[in-house]
Structure 1
């Protein structure tokens, strides 16, 4: 008799196609620190700390947030292909790198929003240039809050009075980073080069453009461009926060971030994730004071409208580098999905 706990699963080609889409998930400096394993029963997500930013992210918080974004992208892509996933997060305390196990059930009628957000994966990109205000801001922000809430993540929009304080904090972070030789070496390793990881020159702003976004991380400057040089940034600033600061909450932050960014792309809005403002404890404390109900700020996001949408998709690692198919084995089990 078949084991009732062993569910049907999609064929290998379906999983490969879903993970190709999921590989478009955002990650800090486009490091793509995720590793997938597919066995006879389930799909497993691990982080690979080879890709961790040891100076900017010594705790691995941003690495796990990045993996959470990949997890949500994967679940969305699988749902778009007719498969519901049940997730066990952090299934093995002795192996903290094992972030999630996904088991499958056929799903013939996922909500329409699933298909819309799955289609947005190829359109979403990080826009580091100045933006106009977001389209239909009140309605969009309401949808974003509703999408973040199931992940136990609170979404707040900061009012305009927060802008100068955040700009001052960003400038202070930049000064500290400028004098940190290890940080600078790490940044230049990952940024400004062509390859299947990292941030290429084409995704960066020139000095003039960066000056219009005082909240942005200070990256090496791109060549001068006339695109939006004179435009002040009018993006809305949202904060994703949790009620604690543990790895499981970092993972869920990444899932919420993915849902938020995909919904923005589906709505025709531009977005840019800001992680440098939560790298220093003092700045996180300041941002927490701006939130209505406190909490621990994890990620800030600029949301607006791009006057132009010209961009080249950033490269991604080959699927063979991030997926192992282990046929004939059940690699891990984990606890009951929650």
Structure 2
């Protein structure tokens, strides 16, 4: 079908453009990176060739697709394309000189490199084994009730950022570097709270994934009155939870728009987390309470699944489906079924 018409460069208000499977050829026009409002560009399965730009929409791997074009190179690293070859007289001359020198020293180089690789591999395996043993043996850093009380200003109501079935979550500032944290304080008077604390600690002890909330430490002690106290300290998520974004008043000052691409990315990231729990954990883990309020968003709007208080381990060999958006056994919260539909059903302008 030829190259993309140059008239596309005049579409300054373009937000979404899908040119996939149109048999376009030639180089990708660089004017696309100057369309500042362009949020998604699909150029997949054409016959483009040459270097992919790396600015504007091309700077976000989630906003551009170039798969199926066999002769593209360059672009940002996350696109996974091979580097573009630089040809020139100086490079050809240098390559020619190297071809002359290599036969002379090949035997010595091969011998030295083989010896180096053997030593390096042995040292790396030894270091990895020692690091793995240390990580397994090293517990979470210890923290006291007094430190958590100070970090949250005595668990002040002004620091309260959420309440759930088994406790309350407070924003806190810890350490000399002023790290922001979220402190979940269990209400031990509530039936099942202690069991929830143990379940969450067990579930989060050995799992690591970019889309799961990270536990920094835990506290099991007594407060200043001698009453049992249990808390879990998480990394702080600057953009709150998904439920707040889905039901926020968009006309309110300070509330940002929630784009279709952001919604789609969150669905994909939550699916990645659930797939990890179901298929890559030993034993497999069922979250048990997946809902919008338990999906937290960091400063880059990356989704993190949290609250494993109702998590269950699957001892049998059968894996649960990665579509397992469920609640406690015998009960399915209405929000658990509808949140995926709500996430993508609103019209995008």
- The reply to whether TM is greater than 0.5 is no
Considering only CA atoms, is the larger Rg found in Structure 1 or Structure 2? 2
Q: Could you say which TM-score interval applies, normalised by the shorter chain?
A: under 0.3
Give the TM-score normalised by structure 1.
0.27
